[in-house]
Amino acid sequence: MDLFVGSRERPAWFDPTIAAVLDGSGAVLAADGPRVLEEATVELVGGQIRHAVRDVRRGLWVDWWFAQLTEATAARIHDELDRGGTGWEGPWRLLHGLSAIGSPALASGATTAARRLAAKVARAGGPGEARWLPAMRRLSSTGEVWHLCDAYGSRIGVIAGFTYPGGVDPSVFLFDVDACGMVTVVNAGVYDDVAQAVAAWRAFAGESASDAEPAAAQRADELVCLAYADHGGEIFQGDESDSALDNWFRTSRRLHELADALRRRGTPLPRATNLHRDLDAGPLVDAFATWYSDRHGNPPAPEPLDALAYEWIEGRLPGTWHAASPHRVRHIRGLISDWVDDPVTKEASALLPDWIRWHAEQTDLPEHLLAASLAAVADNLDRPDLGAPCMT
């Protein structure tokens, strides 16, 4: 992981990427409303985050970078205003875009800078000052939420309504959550409506999601995946999707706004608990052992079964213990590969196909999806394409 973090020194990639964003800020002048400006800001910022994660791969202090970008944007506006030209207009809009996509802590820097510069900008006048710009920082969740899940049970879509003040530019935000291993937002984005977001999620998730239909969330526990979703911060795996990197900051902001709206409504997200402690695999072990004995005429060896069952549930999202997607199978195989090479490890690996079949029976998993999961038992773990979430 050091490859992606690096020492706490101001990284060399900061200056050229910040300059690239500022030099491209003229593109935001075409925005005719908050949503378009927000999207243009995401594209400018996301392009540089992609470059840093995939090409630089060290010193990825992206929150620090965002703060530095905000400071540089404010400085560019100040300098351009002093020159008496119009070069401040793109950065001025960009500053408001940053206030819309940053987490509350990061957005506060952009908001403060905009307030300090507002009088100077007003004196300059010109087309760069749109009346709707101040609304950028007041995006809010409507509290409307829909959820859907793939056939395996570990790929989850959460779709939430958002709007700017006065009902301007209503839209929905998609959180595409993969719970096969660590609960992670693997794709994200803004869409016109629920139908458009559902279509996008099905395309992201693949065949196992083709029949999934959205339902309005009525209880907080239906959104439990968001309480555990690992997103934001400054730790990267290096295989994040384009949409995850483009929306790196915005996803954290939308999660915050949604959680705040649910809390005000009296239905807060469930409190996240430690998924690595106080685990009881006993019910799974007992039920599988009975099934295995009926199938094979003799019970499975207890030590390998206990080891497999505990590894299967440790760190897993509540409600997904029966999910046996190809991605989860590969994830478990990767964990088992780190075990001591002894008879228990070999027997646990040998149990895996039956373990998958048993879980599939508990969820009435279609045969073709079960076949994909069983095929993952024999896949070469060194193949790079097998890292794709829930790939079938």
Give residue-wise pLDDT tens across range 82-137.
999 889 999 999 999 999 999 999 999 999 999 999 999 998 876 546 889 989 98
Alpha carbon distance 114, 108 (integer Å): 10
Closest listed residue to residue 95, CA positions, set 126, 125, 130: 130
Report whether 228 contacts 185 (CB < 8 A): no
d(CA 223, CA 14): 36
Instruction: Please state, for a pLDDT cut of 70, what percent of the chain lies above it.
Output: 93
Residue 4 has pLDDT above 90, yes or no: no
User: How far is residue 251's CA from residue 189's CA, in Å, rounded to a whole number?
Assistant: 8
Looking only at the bridges linking them, the beta strands covering 155-164 and 168-178 are antiparallel
Average pLDDT over residues 337-363: 98
Q: What is the pTM of this model?
A: 0.93
State mean pLDDT over 335-340.
96
Rounded Cα distance, 288 and 303, in Å: 14
Distances from the Cα of 76 to the Cαs of 69, 91, 117, 122, 359, in angstroms? 10, 7, 11, 16, 58
Write the pLDDT tens digit of every residue in 228-280. 996 667 789 899 999 999 999 999 999 999 999 999 999 999 999 999 999 99
Q: How confident is the model at residue 2 (pLDDT cuts 50, 70, 90)?
A: very low
CA distance 204 to 206: 6
Triad 226, 229, 230: Cα angle to 5° = 160
pLDDT at 1: 38
Highest averaged pLDDT of the listed ranges 2-11, 269-278, 376-385:
269-278
